[in-house]
Amino acid sequence: MSIVPGLTIPSDATSDAKISLGAIMAQNTNIRILQASTFLGTINGHLDGVQASCGVNTLNGDFKGFQVAGILNTAGGPSKGWQVSAFTNIMTGEIKGGQAAGFLNISRGGLKGVQASGFLNVASQVDGVQVGVVNIAKRNSGLSLGLLNFIGDGVMDVGVYMDSDSNMWLQYQGGTKYLYTTWMIGYDTRWNLNGNGETAQLGLGFGTRIPLASRLSLDIEAIGRSVIDLTDGNAYMDELEDGDEIRVETYHEARDVFDEFYAGLVPSLRLSLNVSIFKHLAAFVALNTDVRIEDFNDDAFEIGTHTFSVDADMGKVTLYPSLSLGLKF
């Protein structure tokens, strides 16, 4: 047992131990069951069990078991088990198991299992699943579940395109070929760029990419788009066009602004055929079908351009197909 740094009972028990308890700090070479400390735990060799600290755990060797910390876990050698931290985990060697952190996970030696964080995951190679707001990996043979994914050997495309309803779009697709996230922003050009469009749109979706040939692939995506009202019917547009500020001081004023600009949600399904031209250049054509549901999103379809429509359910559901043509980089 370590009372304070440098004072242990018994005095020769800091090398190999089954259980090591540190009131402030615990330092050992090898642990077979448990090392626990309130601030700092250090193991220079092997851990077979649990290393737990309210503050920081450092392990220079490998482990089989768990590292559990309030702030930071670091480990060096190839390991089997889990790193669990309220803030950050860093793994230098390969880990088979997982990392779970409140903010950040880093795996430099490769991970087979799960990497989950409240914000950011970074890995050299993942054979399993990443779950976080932002996921980054050089290679991922499994899934990357996040709002923004940057996977070196996966889907990582910026695209620009026009659709047959006169909307101009900018999009980002990021993830693995099995599942990726799509972000998009669009503007109703009305086939000109004079700034008189009736709508802008923000979209988020999920998709999968199916290889068809060496240079040919098919994207299948489910997307939800929020339609923003830019028409004269919006009471705040005159203020913006005159260069005035929209002052919001109370919750009710903020709610009023939101209600004026937000026209509704448009669910849609998109099929895209991609033709790779170069390594970082592809052309694509897409069929998109927007869904209008009676008494749910009528306002979103009362503005903007909608060239074609098909009644699907006795007028309660109407489909609006459109075609898109663009480039991905």
Q: Is 170 exposed, middle or buried (0-12, 13-18, 19+ CB in 10 A)?
A: middle
pLDDT tens across the length of the chain (329 residues): 555 555 555 544 467 888 999 888 999 999 999 999 999 999 999 999 999 999 999 999 999 999 999 999 999 989 999 999 999 999 999 999 999 999 999 999 999 999 999 999 999 999 999 999 999 999 999 999 999 999 999 999 999 999 999 999 999 999 999 999 999 999 999 888 776 789 999 999 999 999 999 999 999 999 999 999 999 888 888 778 777 888 888 999 899 999 999 999 999 999 999 999 998 999 999 999 999 999 999 999 999 989 999 998 777 999 999 999 999 99
* Annotation: CATH topology of 156-328: Porin (2.40.160)
List % helix, strand, coil for the chain (3-state, nearest 5).
Answer: 5, 60, 30
pLDDT score of 5: 52
Cβ contacts of 293-299, under 8 Å, gap ≥ 24? 293/317, 296/264, 297/264, 297/265, 297/266, 298/264, 299/229, 299/263, 299/264
* Domain layout of the chain by residue ranges: 2-151, 156-328
pLDDT score of 1: 57
Q: What are phi and psi of 309, to 5 degrees?
A: -150, 150
pLDDT score of 325: 98
Amino acid type, 134: V
pLDDT score of 8: 54
User: H-helix or E-strand containing 196?
Assistant: none
Of 262, 286, 91, 318, give the one whose Cα is nearest residue 207: 286
